[in-house]
């Protein structure tokens, strides 16, 4: 006997529909009202507004990291050196001869050493900041860091000697270059999954505008007022632009308000993730069904972590050194200060295009290729700077340097949540960013030492040529890590 045929009389988003039933010998109703869940109830709500809002705030945070970045500090170097006379300071007198102190011949090296020391101290804090970010989220951390960075910039305007310079450099580097950048990429990685690469590329627009506008703004304020006023303006901009918007609009994760990362499958509960992945303790975050999440202790035991960390470290070291001394190095090649600063903006434009291309590559699972391309582009930039037969070759140098920076801006961000998961991404990326900052701290010294002691940047650039070649060859062997479950 064939089964009766049940056909809904209607199927709409209403709360019920009529379902036809077979008539039996007894007189039962020919239809009953059966509750049907609406489409809106079945599917999670979209988050176009919140996703776009988070993206905009992440880009804004990236922009306002500028006061702690090398491209911003580079504009202050010469005006501050003229004002502070670091070689004759009390602390510098411990390791600088009286003759050198009176002549001020080591001012640039001392300034670079202060920058290096501050960057190293700031980098030491980042793994702890990353762990705090995983626990507290960006909604607490972003406004707090913005206020602290504003105060640090104001303190920078009060510097009169080497000790104050070291302390203030420590604050602006750890809060600006380190923490704001970490928060920005953390937000994007939490809110985007399938489109994480493109989203990371889009927030690089904030970094590009920062490179284009912050140095020019600093230069204008210093020219019309002085360098102390420049630092005050930077601090005020950070506080005004970040504190209130972050308090109003930042949400830590889409799961916190019943949403999902973009287009990804629905999340599973943290307790279920604990059971499947054998995490040590349940976490408030949620995981996607196919997502593995490495704790920091697990990540640093994998070869993949160190291959990626070396690429990012070499990029940070060379990028910081080249940008920090770019004005002086290009002046050696008869390129004016104005053009040297303008080329920083050109680098930023190329970097934005490269970050979008790299983001697309990452979404297509071509992260390793993007990292290799970045290293060989960095090698090419140093080679062009060394040879430079004519001044206009500076355009090629800037283009190659910008391309590698933009490529790593996307690939070097996406690789951490993609390879090691979201659950502990603040801790994992905090450690990686700490390594980057340590490397960046060393980047200023080889070129400064080469200039002060040999009268040319040539020897420092030769050293810079070798590192990206080695890093590029090593990262070419990169493979996705496999999490080892406890037995």
* pLDDT range class, residue 49, cuts 50, 70, 90: low
Higher pLDDT, 159 or 28: 159
DSSP symbol at 46: P
How far is the C-alpha of 443 from the C-alpha of 448, rounded, in Å? Answer: 9
Q: Report the candidate in 422, 434, 371, 331 with the shortest Cα–Cα distance to residue 119.
A: 434
**Domains plus CATH for the chain?**
1-36 (no CATH), 48-98+105-263+297-475 (1.20.1250.20)
Instruction: State what percent of residues in the chain have pLDDT above 70.
Output: 77
* pLDDT range class, residue 332, cuts 50, 70, 90: confident
Interval 259-286 mean pLDDT: 49
Cβ contact 67:234 at 8 Å:
yes
Instruction: Report pLDDT digits (tens) over 466-483.
Output: 899 999 999 999 988 877
How far is the C-alpha of 61 from the C-alpha of 238, rounded, in Å? Answer: 9
Number of helices followed by number of strands (H, E) in the chain? 19, 2
Cβ contact 318:460 at 8 Å:
no
Higher pLDDT, 15 or 101: 101
What is the pLDDT at residue 148?
A: 95
Phi, psi dihedral angles at 270 (to 5 degrees)? -65, -35
How far is the C-alpha of 110 from the C-alpha of 475, rounded, in Å? Answer: 35
Instruction: Report pLDDT digits (tens) over 369-382.
Output: 999 999 999 999 99
What is the pLDDT at residue 22?
A: 42
**pTM > 0.75: yes or no:** no
Q: Report the candidate in 305, 289, 308, 285 with the shortest Cα–Cα distance to residue 138.
A: 285
Which of 132-146, 161-175, 386-400, 442-456 is the least confident region?
Answer: 442-456
Cβ contact 131:426 at 8 Å:
yes
């Amino acid at each position: 006997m064939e089964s009766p045929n049940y056909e809904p009389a209607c199927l709409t988003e209403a709360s019920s529909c009529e379902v036809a039933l077979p008539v039996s010998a007894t007189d039962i109703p020919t239809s009953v009202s059966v509750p049907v869940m609406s489409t809106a109830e079945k599917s999670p709500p979209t988050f176009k507004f919140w996703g776009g809002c988070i993206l905009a705030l992440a880009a804004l945070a990236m922009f306002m990291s500028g006061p702690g970045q090398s491209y911003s500090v580079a504009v202050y170097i010469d005006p501050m050196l003229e004002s502070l006379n670091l070689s004759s300071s009390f602390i510098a007198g411990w390791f600088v001869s009286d003759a050198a102190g009176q002549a001020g011949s080591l001012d640039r090296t001392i300034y670079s050493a202060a920058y290096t020391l501050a960057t190293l101290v700031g980098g030491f804090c980042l793994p702890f900041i990353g762990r705090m970010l995983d626990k507290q989220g960006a909604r607490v951390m972003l406004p707090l860091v913005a206020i602290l960075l504003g105060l640090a910039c104001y303190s920078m305007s009060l510097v009169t000697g080497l000790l104050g310079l070291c302390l203030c450099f420590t604050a602006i580097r750890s809060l600006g270059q380190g923490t704001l950048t970490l928060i920005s990429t953390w937000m994007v990685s939490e809110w985007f999954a399938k489109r994480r690469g493109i989203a990371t590329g889009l927030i690089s627009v904030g970094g590009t505008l920062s490179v284009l506008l912050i140095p020019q703004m600093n230069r204008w304020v210093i020219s019309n007022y002085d360098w102390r006023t420049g630092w005050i303006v930077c601090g005020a901009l950070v506080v005004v632009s970040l504190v209130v918007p972050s308090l109003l609009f930042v949400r830590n994760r889409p799961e916190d308000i019943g949403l999902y990362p973009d287009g990804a499958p629905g999340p599973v509960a943290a307790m279920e993730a604990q059971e499947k992945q054998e995490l040590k303790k349940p976490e408030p975050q949620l995981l996607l069904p196919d997502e593995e999440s490495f704790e920091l202790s697990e990540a640093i035991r994998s070869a993949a972590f160190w291959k990626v960390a070396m690429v990012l470290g070499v990029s940070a070291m060379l990028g910081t050194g080249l940008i920090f001394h770019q004005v002086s190095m290009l002046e050696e090649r008869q390129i004016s200060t104005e053009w040297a600063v303008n080329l920083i903006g050109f680098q930023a434009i190329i970097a934005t295009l490269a970050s979008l291309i790299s983001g697309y590559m990452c979404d297509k699972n071509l992260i390793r290729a993007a990292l290799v391309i970045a290293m060989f582009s960095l090698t090419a930039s140093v080679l062009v700077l060394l040879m430079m037969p004519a001044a206009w070759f500076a355009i090629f140098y800037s283009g190659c340097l910008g391309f590698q920076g933009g490529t790593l801006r996307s690939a070097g961000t996406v690789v951490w949540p993609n390879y090691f998961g979201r659950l502990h991404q603040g801790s994992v990326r905090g450690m990686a960013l700490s390594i980057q900052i340590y490397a960046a701290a060393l980047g200023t010294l080889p070129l400064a030492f080469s200039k002060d002691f040999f009268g040319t940047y040539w020897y420092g650039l030769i050293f810079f040529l070798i590192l990206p070649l080695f890093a590029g060859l090593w990262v070419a062997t990169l493979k996705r890590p496999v999490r080892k479950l406890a037995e």
